[in-house]
Amino acid sequence: MSSNYRKGLIVVDSITKKNKYGEIQLDPKVAFQLNLKIGDIIEIKNEKTGYITVGKLIKSDPLDVGTGFIYLSWFLRRNLLVNINDSVSIRKIIPKGAKEIEFMGFDKPIRMKNINNLKYKLPTIILSIGDILSFDLKGHLISLAVRRFSPNTTAVVVRKNTRIICNN
């Protein structure tokens, strides 16, 4: 795992790429230079604000070789507070399993009867502090922000034994 960031990648909208929640595509030349493989977890840093989020590397289009682009979904761009054509830095990381994760309502206070139902919505999503998640839970649109988690690391994955807390 490298502690050095690869700087200067230009953000492009992934809407035409049909990426799923948290997936990224990267200039294949950059991926090769950084020894990245499909499925690797990439930390993405907004070069202006320092905000960080993470995404999973998926296969890129061979036509993107040498472009210096990174394709980010609206979800990742929102979490980073970056726009199309902004510059970001990346590095490979290895997320840890979350022992505990605390969420808070993003746009309004949230009260959930069984907060542990979230475990079944989040098993494949890699989370970092400040990430905002929006999804349907029994017919209601829920928007949650990641407030904190343990262990203290850049990114975590929710596991079956993860303790979920929701505070406002």
Q: Whole-model pTM? A: 0.76
pLDDT tens string 25-51: 898 888 988 899 999 999 999 989 888
CA distances from 75 to 29, 93, 166 (A): 25, 19, 21
Most confident of 64-73, 80-89, 125-134: 80-89
- φ and ψ of 149, to 5 deg: -155, 165
Residue type, 149: F
Nearest to 70 by CA among 48, 96, 102, 42: 42
Mean pLDDT of 3-7: 77
Residue with tokens 């490298």: 2
The CB density around residue 163, as the number of other CB atoms within 10 Å, is 14
Go through 98-118 and write b for each residue having 16 or more CB atoms within 10 A of its CB, e for each that does not: beebbbebeeeebebeeeeeb
Distant-in-sequence, close-in-space partners of 71: CB < 8 Å, separation ≥ 6 = 12, 13, 14, 17, 19, 24, 25, 26, 60
Instruction: Give me the chain's average pLDDT, please.
Output: 82
Q: How many CB atoms lie within 10 A of CB 156?
A: 25
- The domains located in the chain, with CATH, are 6-93 (2.40.40.20), 96-166 (3.10.330.10)
- At residue 52, does pLDDT exceed 70? yes
Q: In sequence order, what are the residues at sequence separation of 6 or more whose Cβ sits closer than 8 angstroms to the Cβ of residue 33?
A: 6
For residues 157 and 96, the answer to whether their CB atoms sit within 8 Å is yes
Cα distances (angstroms) measured from residue 99 to each of 37, 56, 96, 102, 108:
27, 21, 9, 10, 26
